[in-house]
Amino acid sequence: MALSPTDVAQLAVVDTARAARVLSEVRSATLAGGRGPVAPRPVIEQSWERMLRGGIDPDRDRRSGLLSPEEVRRRRETTELRHVLPVLREGLLSVADVAHHIMVVADQDGRVLWREGSAAVLRRADGLGFELGADWREDVVGTNGIGTPAVVRRPVQVFGSEHFVRSQTSWTCSGAPITDPRDGRLLGVVDVSGPLETMHPATLAWVDSVAKLAESRLRELHLGSLERLRATAAPVLSRLSGQALVVDRDGWTAAVTGMPYTSRIALPKSLSAGRRWLPPLGLCSVEPLAGGWLVRASAEPEPRTATRVVLDFSQPRRWSVTVSGSAGSWSRELSPRHAELLYLLALRRGGHSAAGLAEEVFGDPARTVTVRAEMSRVRRYLGGVLEHRPYRFGEDAEVELVLPDDPRDLLPQSTAPAVVGARMTDGMPRMCRSGLTE
């Protein structure tokens, strides 16, 4: 009787050894170009395809150098993950230790910064190179529970022979990404790992729920910092006339006066005091405050000039938008969903309706509420260059797409039908390949 991936997952609950044998047969057959007793799960199959394209050897354990103890310490002291380490420990460690697992926390670069749990399992992990400072990016060590969730931006369990590199097939990992709730930026991955015989398919849901708790804690901390900034801003704004707002270092609004409230404005990566062009406010006067900036909109009319927008999708995990104009430029890292939407808007300058975007992103034209909500968030930082009804880049915007060399590396986490079709058929306009869109 043929097995489905779901059957294999259920089999792992009652007969881990047999499930491991099935997956070993699947791995061997697939990597040899044949067909196994069951097809690999899509997330695993897509990862294996990336490994084969990238030249990763499935039979050779390739590792990069460890970070020095000083560099590990520096990264621990600067990462936002340090604020949620107590949440991760409370949610995962007590069970992990009893169940002979370990908890691993890696940063956005796939570097292991914390590693705790069963002492016996930690010793076994040393043999796999699962050490402090180790590099567990997918394109370095193959399909795994840290690197693969970082690429696809969703929780992934890698069970036994679903690992691409043979030396890792006696191991099972369940990893979930942790993103910054302020901007959707990947902060790192939390993973629970252990020997094959100790793991359970339900581990993934457990790890994912704790990762979401960690993100909630980050959100609470951010709201608390905005409250403190609001108290600082109140006496300053009370003395001003005209339009002004106080924002934190990431552009989130603490208080406004003389203008409608907007939750966030886009700030350049290296903002300094002076006169600056900020979307959607235009020309502004920017002054530093403790913990943020005082931004006052200028009453002077702006000269009408072309704005250049660069959408960079060339990297597998980091996508960005850069906007340049007469008053300078600013950049912003994009979340996976916003990257999908802006990619589609760049391809069709004539515009998309909400139903059209829903069809291309979700395969369901009825999901217009979700599309409108996401586009509302996009327009908060690109309001100066985006129009709506239909959604489109403005006529004055010069849009450039920077795409990966291999079309199959385009937004690899995306399941949007339009993006999947572009990856499979090389269906990107030639003008996009040269860096321009019509």
Determine phi and psi for 288, rounding to 5 degrees. Answer: -75, 145
- Express each pLDDT in 41-87 by its tens digit: 889 998 998 998 888 899 888 888 899 999 999 999 999 999 999 99
> How many whole angstroms separate alpha carbon 58 and alpha carbon 356?
41
Whether residue 102 is contained in a domain is answered as yes
The pLDDT, as a whole number, for residue 425 is 66
Quick count: other Cβ atoms within 10 Å of Cβ 373? 9
Co-location of 179 and 278 in the same domain: no
The per-residue pLDDT for 406 is 82
**At residue 331, does pLDDT exceed 90?**
no
Domain assignment present for residue 412? The answer is: yes
- Count other C-beta atoms under 10 Å from residue 59's C-beta: 8
Domain that holds residue 323: 307-433
- 3-class DSSP assignment, residue 139: helix
**pLDDT above 70 for 434:** no
Say if residue 314 is in the same domain as residue 291.
no
Say what the pTM is: 0.73
Residue 14, pLDDT score? 46
Give the model confidence (pLDDT) of 260-288 as tens digits: 888 888 787 777 788 887 877 878 888 88
- Shared-domain flag, residues 191 and 46: yes
Tokens representing 383 are 């309001």
What pLDDT, on the 0 to 100 scale, is given for residue 347?
Answer: 87
Residues forming beta bridges with residue 256, ordered by sequence position: 245
Do the domain assignments include residue 340? yes
The Cα 360–Cα 143 span in angstroms is 28
Q: Which residue has the higher pLDDT, 395 or 105?
A: 105
- Segment 110-146, tens digit of pLDDT: 999 999 998 889 999 998 889 999 999 999 999 999 9
Cα angle 287-293-297, degrees, rounded to a multiple of 5: 65
Angle between helices 354-362 and 368-382 (to 10 degrees): 100
Structure tokens at 140: 């370095």
Distance CA 121, CA 228 (A): 44
State the helix-helix crossing angle for 354-362 and 417-425, rounded to 10 degrees. 60
Q: Are 313 and 293 part of one and the same domain?
A: no
Q: Both 338 and 393 in a single domain? A: yes
